[in-house]
Structure 1
Amino acid sequence: MENLLTDRQFWVNYWESKTGLSVNIPSDYLFHRELGEIINKQGVKTAIELGGFPGYYAVFLKKYFKLNVTLLDYFVHQPVTNALLEANQLKEADIHIVETDLFNYQPENQFDLVLSCGLIEHFNDTADIINRHIAFVKPGGTLFITLPNFKALNGWFQKTFDKENYDKHNINCMDPDLLANICKQAGLEVVQSKYFGHFSLWLENEKNKPAGVRLLKKTMWLAGKLFTKVFPFNSRQLSPYIILEARKA
């Protein structure tokens, strides 16, 4: 049920060791088109990003759509989030932050849009973590979840060259039909649940990997990008992500 790394001091050390976190979020940030369509069609005013530290999507939604935004995570290191806000010409007061364990928290408010990007795959009970998302969704509101697709070529690459990272993910949950069925059983209308993106590869802390691995990754990345530029399609074999969009009655 729990993330494999739950010690708070570990996360303090981990995030303080990272560099380049305070980036200027572009208007064409990943999933920008999908989020923009939801916001415009559904008249979204409020949103919460679950498990999203340091808050890239919270910042994106505030910066470009002027939403009333909340960020909720088990660990939030305020100096990192403040630096991210400053890099995007936002103030500390622009995002409401709730630092809490999602598994011991009862939502105080519900939101027009509830999203998480790269959260649910870190838990074994997929239905439970999705239902915890749903508890935050207003009637008529939208649930938007994205996660990596490690059943694709990218997953083979992770398993082969970064097994430690691969093992932190619940591979079984990376199934659009499974995710859709969980939402249907919870009474939501599934708008879409599908593989997303034509192709990509990545490695955590790539610069620390052996030169041969970095070269192979670059070669495969270029070949995959060229192939899917000529033949663009979403598929279980190549797409790097899965997206789920569902609406509460």
Structure 2
Amino acid sequence: MSNTLTDRSFWSKYWESKKGLAFSVNRNYLFHQHLSAIVEKKQPAEAIELGGFPGYYAIFLKKHFHISSTLLDYFVHPGILQQVLQANGLTEGDIHVIEADLFNCSTPQQYDLVLSCGLIEHFNDTRDIIQRHVQFVKPGGTLFITLPNFRGVNGWFQKEFDLENYEKHNIASMDPDLLRSIAVELNLKDVKASYYGGFSVWLENKNSVSALTKLFMKSVWFAGKVITKTFRFESRALSPYIVLQATK
């Protein structure tokens, strides 16, 4: 899998170490405002989530909007996937699952809505990975990409307390201006790229850090939440996510 900062071994260990993966994806799931607006405006019939195992967004679209949904990922853990589907009242046949390398999909099927959440930052060549998304989008269809923002407070926590995970991310990709310029170069229309979310910090290795670190992180999290709830704004320093949306 060229151009990637991760491999199958990384993802196998990552997912098998996770707890509480099988939960019900509710109507207010993260980015629901964006996706609801896309569905209302564009009425997509078919959608694909790229690199999204265990498929929370494919499930969200199928469960709440009855959209024919596909999950494509380089690594799929069948046991975890089955548990997540069952937690949402779905069966294996309700979501089309493709376990494949995105770099080997030379003539992919095209969809009305193509999305990925937390994928493109794991690749060195940001333009290339976005272009591989675009090949799945039907003319007139929508591209929706989200990624974490590690160039602010949250990134500082990642770098200081979970360097191994931090180094699995292409920090340079976490730039709305860069993403916007790439989308324009790829001839996409109605391009929007911006920071999203008031404030949040997290650690993938939270259970392995010291009690003092957990207390420090909780204190910063609380202070940041108070500030951004009182004075809501998106920014590089505080927002936990970046969103790119465009039309082909």
Please state which band the TM-score falls in when normalised by the shorter chain.
over 0.9
Work out whether 1:124 is the aligned partner of 2:124. yes
- Maintained 8 Å contact 1:25/1:56: yes
Residue 59 (structure 2) pairs with residue 59 (structure 1): yes
SS at structure 2 position matched to 1:20: coil
CA deviation profile, 1:119-153 (whole Å, cap 9, x unmatched): 00000100000000000000000000000011111
Distance in 2 of aligned mates of 1:197 and 1:56: 19
**What amino acid is the match of 1:72?**
L
State how far apart, in whole Å, the 1-side matches of 2:101 and 2:73 are. 7
Q: Which residue in the other structure is 2:142 paired with?
A: 142
Q: Which residue of 2 aligns with 1:69?
A: 69
Cα distance in 1, alignment partners of residues 93 and 221 from structure 2: 40
Do the aligned partners of residues 228 and 86 (structure 1) sit closer, same or farther apart at CA in structure 2, a change above 3 Å counting?
A: same
Question: What secondary structure sits across from 1:121 in the alignment?
Answer: helix
TM-score (norm 2): 0.96
**Runs (5+) with no aligned partner, structure 1:** none
Shift of 1:16: 3.1
Deviation at 1:18, TM superposition (A): 2.7
CA contact (8 A) 2:123 2:169 kept: yes
Query: Is 1:164 paired with 2:138?
Result: no
In 1, the alpha carbon distance for the partners of 2:137 and 2:164 equals 34
For 1:75, give the aligned amino acid: F
Q: TM-score, normalised by structure 1?
A: 0.96
Secondary structure in 1 aligned to 2:40?
helix
Q: CA separation in 2, counterparts of 1:215 and 1:107?
A: 50
Q: State the 1:85 CA deviation.
A: 0.6
Contact 2:183/2:191, CA 8 A, preserved across alignment: no
Does the C-alpha gap of structure 1 residues 161 and 16 become closer, same or farther in structure 2, counting only changes over 3 Å?
closer
Corresponding residue for 2:5?
4
Q: Is contact 1:180-1:190 (8 Å) kept? A: no
Q: How many percent identity over aligned positions?
A: 58
Pick closer, same or farther for the CA change 1:157–1:12 going to 2, 3 Å: closer
1:175 alignment partner in structure 2: 175
Please identify runs of 4+ aligned residues in structure 1 that moved more than 6 A: none
Could you say which residue in structure 2 is the equivalent of 1:43? 43
Which deviates further from its counterpart, 171-180 or 99-108?
99-108
Does 2:209 match 1:214?
no
Distance 2:79 2:184 in 1: 40
What is residue 199 of structure 1 aligned with on the other side? 199
Measured after TM superposition, the shift of residue 190 of structure 1 is 3.4
Partner of 1:244: 244
What are the Cα deviations for residues 90-124 of structure 1, in whole angstroms up to 9, with x where unaligned? 11101001101111112431000000000000001
Distance 1:107 1:207 in 2: 42
Aligned counterpart, 1:152: 152
Change (3 A) 1:152 1:199: same
Shifted more, 95-104 versus 185-194: the winner is 185-194
| Comparing 18-27 and 60-69, the one that deviates more | 18-27
**Matched position secondary structure for 1:223:** helix
CA deviations over 1:171-212 (Å, ceiling 9, x no partner): 111111110111111110133100001110000031221111
| Matched-pair contact (CA < 8 Å) for 1:196–1:241 | yes
* Secondary structure of the structure 1 residue equivalent to 2:113: strand
* Paired residue total: 247
Offset at 1:82?
A: 1.1
Greater shift, 112-121 or 15-24, is seen at 15-24
SS of 1:227 mapped into structure 2: helix
Q: 1:14 to 1:152 in 2, by over 3 A?
A: closer
Instruction: Tell me the residue number matched to 1:79.
Output: 79
CA distance in 2, matches of 1:149, 1:17: 23
Give the letter aligned to residue 209 of structure 2: K
Distance in 1 separating the partners of 2:175 and 2:229: 25
What SS does structure 1 have at the residue aligned with 2:116?
Answer: strand
**Alignment partner, residue 90 of structure 1:** 90
The residue identity in structure 1 corresponding to 2:186 is A
